[in-house]
Chains A and B, each alone.
Chain A
């Protein structure tokens, strides 16, 4: 059954001819048909397009052509990322039915590498949320327990990979939106260095924080996908014009002997679920047994990350989402009882009808933070805290090679449990946000099931900017020391 294979193993079987891409892709489509009614991981499935790519790859392989490593391995793509000719909704009613006229650079690279695109995955609206409950198309659900959230915002991508609907997926991470759902569903998720992967064609939430990254069931699989999508793109002015770190080689190495691993003192204690803490402490002990040097480090500014993030991010959101103005694309709604509304009235009515509660909350918060009289106190101070956080990273990375912490303070909660308390939801991102504010890369690797909830726990490594390879090396070592929990079947 190819659906349970790691991408690297499926790629090997495709290369040696024991399975075709059409067979593997059809198996994923059958799996989606069987379980997605319970998971709602996909907003759109493109069976025809995926099978056409698969058939093309099979024909080229049969003709003796040398193909990229992942050619023929199917993938799911978060519905925040433009796919020419296929709907892209961002999980919002304001883009319902919209079909982008062009591909995101990362999608173009998937096509060039021959990966059949199975479809588009569910997300919190415009990637704003930690639970996927803010999707306008209903929440995606956690395959370990469908009464629980899969994490967010890349919850559909995480659920799809965890439930064997796809071996690989792309997500985006603005404050933890790849790593946290990865942790909640027991899979690997990577936020690359800011600028490491092109944002061209990715619907912007907070431009100074957003990054696209891989989600997979092994560290090596994530590295193989990272290598496909990463690298300089002249169409993204923040794209780093430097060679991509050797992530695949690092994932194959997986050796922590002599590696200095910093355990962040601030990411423990109050608010951290005991079952998460126990798995984390065991993982630290195993890394030490494997020869890593464990060093406790203090990053005092990290505890202020959420405060800074919930000013910087909404401010950028309020600006970025101004483009949804009902004029050139997307929804247009006329105000009731006004036979001849102005453009501005149509804009305001459309944004009320087409945007969900969390998106409105963040736009209003950002508008407040940027308004005259509050700008210096809120946005200006948040930008300075961002500098303090970057300085804490610099100090820490002078002492250690990577940092290690739980990815999230708790395991997956029940749908609806935190819906009435936005601040409680925001606090779930405490461990992941500092990396986005400073632009450094992070990986979440499964470290078992919590003994108090029976649900997956993730461990997070963070590395200096452009040292993404360190994440893959440490992550691969951890994966060997602490095998990922295996989902037998979706738990309904």
Chain B
């Protein structure tokens, strides 16, 4: 079986996924993921033995580019849209600062 993922490896993935995992969570995932990755890595061998020209399939629906007519239709009201917000102010979503994150 593959060796465990290091705490740093998992922390990097967690930062890409925007989740502040605890050290205990990082270590547990680092220990669990190799068994799962070993299992799923079988797809590479399957594709190799199938030979060339297997097209990737992203979606089972035989549909492409579905458009509706470009006509206005009712959407959510401002009150409805804001009703579930963690915080709002002056009819807008109130969010934490998004600039100067390194400061």
Contacts and interface: CB of A to CB of B under 8 A. Distances in A.
A363 B19 contact: yes
B17 A318 contact: yes
B72 interface: no
B58 interface: yes
B3 interface: no
A295 interface: no
A328 B32 contact: no
A335 interface: yes
A352 B33 contact: no
Contacts of A388: 46-47, 50, 54
B43 A308 contact: yes
Contacts, number: 181
A329 B84 contact: yes
Interface in B1-39: 10, 13-22, 25, 29, 32-33, 35-37, 39
A219 interface: no
A364 interface: yes
Contact of B96 (A195, A343, A371, A440): A343
A478 interface: no
A194 B97 contact: no
If over half of A's interface residues share one DSSP class (helix, strand or loop), that class is named, otherwise mixed; here it is helix
Nearest to B19: A351
Given A328-B93, A342-B96, 10 more contacts: A101-B83, A208-B59, A308-B43, A322-B18, A334-B96, A335-B20, A365-B33, A377-B41, A383-B58, A388-B54
Closest 9 pairs (CB-CB, A-B): A439-B60, A332-B86, A383-B56, A329-B84, A101-B80, A381-B43, A348-B20, A237-B66, A386-B57
A328 B84 contact: yes
Given A342-B98, A387-B56, A311 B43 contact: yes
Interface residues of A, number: 74
A341 B29 CA distance: 26
B55 A387 contact: yes
B17 A238 contact: no
A241 to B, nearest CB: 8
Contact of A343 (B35, B39, B95): B95
A396 B21 CA distance: 45
A286 interface: no
Contacts of A382: 40, 43
B40 A355 contact: no
A465 interface: yes
Contacts of A252: none
Interface stretch (A32-40, A57-65, A107-115, A299-307): A299-307
Contacts of A465: 60
Nearest to A331: B86
Contacts of A245: none
